[in-house]
Amino acid sequence: MSDEIKESQSFFYSPKDVVDVVSEFQKLFSKLESNIKHFIVSQPTFLIELRRKIKTEIGFLSPQKKDMALAIFGIIVTEDIIKKYDPIFFAEDISALMDATDKKTSCTDDEFIGLLTSFLNTLKTVTHSITIIINNFISLKSLNLEDRITRQILIQRHFSTALTEANLCFEVGEFKIDLRFIISIFAHIIEKLLEENEVIEKAKSAGMIYEGIIKTYPLKEGEDILYDIININIIESYYDLISQAFESKIQKRLEVAHEQQVEIQREFQRSSEQQTDQGRIEQILASIEQALYEVMKIQREMTEAKRQNLEKNIEKVMRRLAIEEFGVQDIADQQKYMQYVLDTWFSIFEEYPQMCLPLIDVKQYTKFVSDPVEYIEENKQTIIQQLQFKIRRHTTGERFTPGNLANAFSHIIYEITTNSSVLTLTFDK
């Protein structure tokens, strides 16, 4: 996977800061608290009208709570706190909210305002997080990941975080709430999006969805259920519908990604043409210099990760060289490439003669150590044979490709730089 994909934001949802959630709660709470009375006095007709509409739905509330609830809805509408909020939905939501917090039988006025504050903030927070998650989902789909992976990314790195964030909106009001209600808020917002995109006919209210979920999903709390509750009630219920709703956007994103890919390739070819005069061997050397320096000079350990990285770098250079020379990303003249590789090795030995050690006969060690430069010069043919043998062994005798040459090269470097005799020798000039 390319680094730009790995670094892309679409792999995670980042939640709000706790401090912000606390201050949002305080702000809305004091706004509702101070405006309720005023609204009741100043807007009698609005309230009468509203009361008629949702009379049965809020029948469970005491007369005083009814007035408060109606006034709060009035404030929501006039202050534009929640857009296009259906009063019936509001009534269904309050009913479920009181159930989900066990406040249906007893609830002080303060608690009531607090609960509605937490609820309204959750509704806003979830609206926001769903927008981001859907956007990330479209990006993920355009990466051509398998659906089962995308589902896990959504559960583990998006919805889990977003669900915890939403739950925090209640925690800051010191309420303990049934997680299934928060899940229902997510489901409701998703259904609204699906309705807008004409994938479903009509979205249900969070309250209504909650009534359904509590019949099928038996657990309401615990960190251990985060994965399961999201998987069952969001992913299994809506994943396919969301894919369907955003199909055209996903397609468009795929096309853009493809065009970018083509452009990158064109760019790459252009830049590689400019480098033709830079020596080929230097190019290969440049791709391994850093790693060699670390291992041979400052005694960092050679690791498999470093080897893999070397392999990638060498392969890149080899491909570029092949494009320069043959116009394709493959090697047409096999012998020529063997020569490049061998020349590169001898340049390495100039800097680090001790790396030649594993290629020579044990009996010759003393001779080698006393004057490595001369030794290499005199025994060049034998060393070449050893190197060729190693390269062929790693490429399993197949025809050279940038991939298998890079693999061979990096393995030989790994072998040599993890050889303890090599590491104990130094020939500092």
Q: Give CA torsion, residues 346, 351, 355, 359, to 10 deg.
A: 30
Q: Per CB under 8 A, which of residues 129..158 are in contact with other proteins?
A: 148-149, 151-153, 156
Could you say which DSSP state residue 331 is in?
-
Pick the closest to residue 315 from 388, 396, 389, 404 (CA basis). Answer: 404
Judged by CB under 8 A, does residue 218 bind other proteins? yes
Judged by CB under 8 A, does residue 164 bind other proteins? no
DSSP per-residue codes, 227-244: HHHHIIIIIHHHHHHHHH
Nearer to other proteins among residue 290 and residue 421 (C-beta): 421
Judged by CB under 8 A, does residue 389 bind other proteins? no
Judged by CB under 8 A, does residue 228 bind other proteins? yes
Please, what's the b/e burial string for 108-147 (b: 16 or more CB within 10 A of its CB; e: otherwise)?
A: eeeebbbbbbbbbbbbbbbbebbeebbebbbbbbbbeeee
Q: Per CB under 8 A, which of residues 287..346 are in contact with other proteins?
A: 301, 303-305
101, with CB counted inside 10 A (0-12, 13-18, 19+), is buried
- Nearest approach, Cβ of residue 157 and other proteins (Å): 10
Could you say which DSSP state residue 355 is in?
G
Judged by CB under 8 A, does residue 43 bind other proteins? no
Task: Compute CA distances 70 → 184, 249, 356, 382, 385, whole Å.
Answer: 23, 40, 86, 94, 90
Judged by CB under 8 A, does residue 239 bind other proteins? no
Binder of other proteins out of 10, 125, 231, 344 (CB under 8 A): 231
Judged by CB under 8 A, does residue 223 bind other proteins? yes
Query: Are 141 and 253 contacting, i.e. CB atoms less than 8 angstroms apart?
Result: yes
Interface segment toward other proteins; rule CB under 8 A; list 24-32, 199-207, 247-255, 419-427: 419-427
- Nearest approach, Cβ of residue 322 and other proteins (Å): 23
- Nearest approach, Cβ of residue 162 and other proteins (Å): 16
- Which residues of this protein are in contact with other proteins, per CB under 8 A? 1, 6, 148-149, 151-153, 156, 217-219, 222-229, 231-232, 301, 303-305, 393, 396, 415, 418, 420-421, 423-424
